[in-house]
Structure 1
């Protein structure tokens, strides 16, 4: 990328920062409007909020109006479901995952209708009492603006992907008052392992800082939560108990994604139209709220109360379980909302419980618990430590928070691997690293094909991007000049070494009568050479005449086990 393009992208990042800040305020306006009328006027329940953003920590619950509370939540889920599944099914659930999937799979392209629809559906879901966070809708809204802006500018796919990340960071920064943490989050959340989209960090940082500054003129620059300024961990005993908090957070980080997506799969299996499933999920939330009204909404006020030690110890474990199921019912059923705030809620309540149990500071343990649970369950430890520190102003706790979160994160990874669990993270669209991202592999495929350009008489840039995506995800052959095809598949069985003349021609390797152009193994592309084994599970890029390709396809799994994940997710979404 040349210097001129860099300057333009920096200006674009500033613009998206401003747009992200205003977008967050638009969403908050609609959310507050729905909360006010649905809760205060219709159900007789006052909507709580944080003093730092103009709210009150007092929640009014009229206990003889339980039926109306449930009716309002169900109504919000019903209208949200009908809107989303009629006009833009990809807007269901938590918006950050949609933005991550768009980055990896569609070159950052997000349909224009998703942006306003996500705002409306999320305001209805959360404002009527749905147990979800406001960060997902804002992230998708701002990312969608970045995608629309890139389309208007006729930007390249690479620039569009970058602007989507900038938009995501800006929206999150405006909501959470965390300019540094959200910038890192946007480049860390893409991958489940310790990898970042580092080339985008300068731009996400600029966008998030601008969004934070502009948003401050509306809601102030004070931290989202209030904690005592003299918090400090100085004794080994407290650090020992924090390590216990990290271990328990790691276990919850394993349980949470599997409960969340397990309930999602349960809703997918229900033989009814998806338009009505969010209403069923909302009914479940309403029933839980009869016993535990704390689960309603994002729960920011209750997080503050947990930090202040205002919740009795015996209630805390029960509310943790209730919130886990309530937020899963809300979002996993197809309701629109984020997963960040509910995860912070669980971490704050866990931290407060252990603090009261061990006679420690609830502020310290609740703050660090927030970071540990989300950092582990979403596999974003670095960003989460900084985000929670900025959201609370507890900068003196940065070191013990980092140690606790890393313990939770590493334990979560180990347990998921040990038990080979289906769901590894709250963000299903995460891929392990860049090697497993379809968008990066399309570039790699073009590089491989460039190597064969003299032999193929083919310009790889002229191959349609959608064809390359189908090749990677579905093993659909691509027609090329000279009457040949390119095929990509996962080998079902081991194949003997290529160490004889019938299988090797100079630098070219043969699989039966097809030429092996490259193979993907253990996260890396390997160029063929004589004297190596082909192993079961190796994914081969083959070239041959159509008859040969048809004949050998029986030796391969028809869908790539590496690159099909996001495609299969999209197919399920399309079917629903």
Structure 2
């Protein structure tokens, strides 16, 4: 009961702080937009117009000044991020996912102010990015900082980070339930959820939503006419829309990360790369100014039926390139809003071709594209419905997202692209998470401690993670060493007294295709199996050459982190 009271109070505090930080970010973003784009350029993206005032763009904007402003924004953002907090580069959500899986939720305190300022500068000067990624990162940083203050363990820190992330997103998008589910769904790519302390993950975003509602109003982000989908023909057309959304959902991450990989390969300082990306976005914006910013205003225009024809198809392509250049170059901004924009344009185009209800198709495509591209179908359905207030479209939206998700999976299996998700730090499921694997291996060793005469204190020491990442043989007592690595060939195992053996070493467990297999159910080791074994030092030294002394599966996030640094 004491734990419950403590968590309630902590969640309440994190929800308040996360909401306040999100509002500070939005106010700063609007101030920078007003000065740089309105005063200097003479143009403000429509989503910013709506939030600032009843401002309307008049006449021609200054194209040269636009290029100067957006490139300057890229330079400032690049300097801030790569000088003070390199982990804050890009859209931010991947950083939270990595921190959750690899670092027990730890995020450096400097990430919070750097991400707020750098993202406000990037988006406020015209960068083609959204608010959700930065909000996710600095709000998660609030949860991590609060964990330092409370001196809690890493498992509780992970929960506080998720509460912070969900609370900040709820304050920005006014979608408390959807953002709660997003926080627990985005961690994994295979329909798995982080359900620890779920009730508190719902409570934090509710607090943030309530504060935002009282201060700034309760209206949803988008206004949707009362649309009903009642005809069988329309539902069949929604399946077609879902198929198209699934294809776009697979194209998006590969274009985005392809651009990101290209920028990382450029032989220039990372501080300058966001400015190069910004210049490319500025050139696109000379022809399609609609790509500037997150694009919420133009999403609303498409819902209203004011953006139709083949023009929206060109906007779709332009937005894919623009947001890839902004965020892929290292600029600070999110991928959620651009994905909604792309989905909205797709929905408007398909609705136009099929003579279907445009507003419904725009909303359904928004959810379908992002749900497939981000591997978060459930969260996206609820978030988009909450953001639009289109609860009457819940069933058709679910059909569209489900169709897109299935098509995305089918295409991914057939084509086998390099990237399948907008969040590359996602793990397939919990079995691939370092934090869970640490517990799993400790449980295995503790379970066998009496049989193998292992010392529990040694088994439970913190450097056991080296088994997973460094390929080191770790002593666990009585001249016995545990080793974990990837086997390079297929061999038959010999029977032992208690465990099957390979060249004198005892096989404890084998990790194969995402599952831990006890030695009793295997007769051989296959090439690519990741094997946990125990033996004397001289035995391990002999057979180590037959292993890749590193778990490639569990090294994924470490490799990503090193490439960023």
Call closer, same or farther: CA 1:445–1:105 in 2, change over 3 Å: same
Matched-pair contact (CA < 8 Å) for 1:91–1:117: yes
Give the drift of 1:480: 2.9
Q: Which 4+ stretches in 1 moved above 3 angstroms?
A: 50-61, 460-465
Q: In the alignment, which of 323, 327, 330 is matched to residue 331 of structure 1? A: 327
Matched-pair contact (CA < 8 Å) for 1:504–1:530: no
3-state SS, counterpart of residue 258 of structure 1 = helix
Give the drift of 1:53: 4.3
* TM-score, scaled to structure 1: 0.95
Mapping 1:432-511, distance limit 5 Å: 432-454=428-450, 455-459=452-456, 463-465=460-462, 467-496=463-492, 498=493, 503-511=494-502
Task: Write the distance in 1 (CA, Å) between the matches of 2:280 and 2:453.
Answer: 59
The residue aligned with 1:524 is 515
Residues 265-318 of structure 1: per-residue CA shift (max 9 Å, x gap): 000110111111111100110010011000000111011011111124121011
Residues 496-517 of structure 1: per-residue CA shift (max 9 Å, x gap): 1x3xxxx333222222122222
The residue aligned with 1:320 is 316
Give the drift of 1:470: 3.0
Residues 408-449 of structure 1: per-residue CA shift (max 9 Å, x gap): 011111111211111010001101111111111111111011
The residue aligned with 2:132 is 135
Task: Write the distance in 1 (CA, Å) between the matches of 2:314 and 2:495.
Answer: 65
Call closer, same or farther: CA 1:527–1:327 in 2, change over 3 Å: same
Task: Write the distance in 1 (CA, Å) between the matches of 2:337 and 2:521.
Answer: 54
The residue aligned with 1:27 is 25
Task: Write the distance in 2 (CA, Å) between the matches of 1:417 and 1:88.
Answer: 37
**Comparing 4-13 and 411-420, the one that deviates more:** 4-13
Q: In the alignment, which of 324, 342, 345 is matched to residue 341 of structure 2? A: 345
Residues 217-256 of structure 1: per-residue CA shift (max 9 Å, x gap): 222111100011x211000121121111100000001100
Residues 157-189 of structure 1: per-residue CA shift (max 9 Å, x gap): 110001111111101100000011111111111
The residue aligned with 1:236 is 232
Task: Write the distance in 1 (CA, Å) between the matches of 2:53 and 2:411.
Answer: 40
**Comparing 247-256 and 524-533, the one that deviates more:** 524-533
Task: Write the distance in 2 (CA, Å) between the matches of 1:54 and 1:38.
Answer: 14
Residues 511-549 of structure 1: per-residue CA shift (max 9 Å, x gap): 212222221112121221276222112111122233322
Matched-pair contact (CA < 8 Å) for 1:49–1:56: no
Task: Write the distance in 1 (CA, Å) between the matches of 2:315 and 2:59.
Answer: 17
Q: In the alignment, which of 362, 366, 371 is matched to residue 375 of structure 1? A: 371
**Comparing 513-522 and 166-175, the one that deviates more:** 513-522
Mapping 1:91-110, distance limit 5 Å: 91-110=88-107
Unmatched segments (≥5 aa) in structure 2? none
Task: Write the distance in 1 (CA, Å) between the matches of 2:504 and 2:411.
Answer: 44
**Comparing 140-149 and 52-61, the one that deviates more:** 52-61
Mapping 1:368-407, distance limit 5 Å: 368-407=364-403
3-state SS, counterpart of residue 123 of structure 1 = helix
Task: Write the distance in 1 (CA, Å) between the matches of 2:324 and 2:447.
Answer: 48
Task: Write the distance in 1 (CA, Å) between the matches of 2:45 and 2:550.
Answer: 49
Matched, 1:216 2:216: no
Task: Write the distance in 1 (CA, Å) between the matches of 2:532 and 2:522.
Answer: 18
Task: Write the distance in 2 (CA, Å) between the matches of 1:248 and 1:471.
Answer: 44
Task: Write the distance in 2 (CA, Å) between the matches of 1:348 and 1:469.
Answer: 44
Equivalent pairs, count = 564
Q: In the alignment, which of 113, 117, 138 is matched to residue 116 of structure 1? A: 113
3-state SS, counterpart of residue 529 of structure 1 = helix
**Comparing 420-429 and 51-60, the one that deviates more:** 51-60
The residue aligned with 2:6 is 8
Task: Write the distance in 2 (CA, Å) between the matches of 1:55 and 1:15.
Answer: 31
**Comparing 26-35 and 354-363, the one that deviates more:** 354-363
Give the drift of 1:471: 1.9
Matched-pair contact (CA < 8 Å) for 1:94–1:339: yes
CA-atom RMSD in angstroms: 1.6
Matched, 1:250 2:269: no
Matched, 1:199 2:196: yes
Q: In the alignment, which of 548, 551, 554 is matched to residue 560 of structure 1? A: 551
Call closer, same or farther: CA 1:572–1:60 in 2, change over 3 Å: farther
3-state SS, counterpart of residue 46 of structure 2 = coil
Give the drift of 1:569: 0.5
Q: In the alignment, which of 530, 533, 537 is matched to residue 546 of structure 1? A: 537
Task: Write the distance in 2 (CA, Å) between the matches of 1:240 and 1:58.
Answer: 39
Task: Write the distance in 1 (CA, Å) between the matches of 2:391 and 2:152.
Answer: 39
The residue aligned with 2:16 is 18
Matched-pair contact (CA < 8 Å) for 1:449–1:460: no
Task: Write the distance in 1 (CA, Å) between the matches of 2:427 and 2:45.
Answer: 38
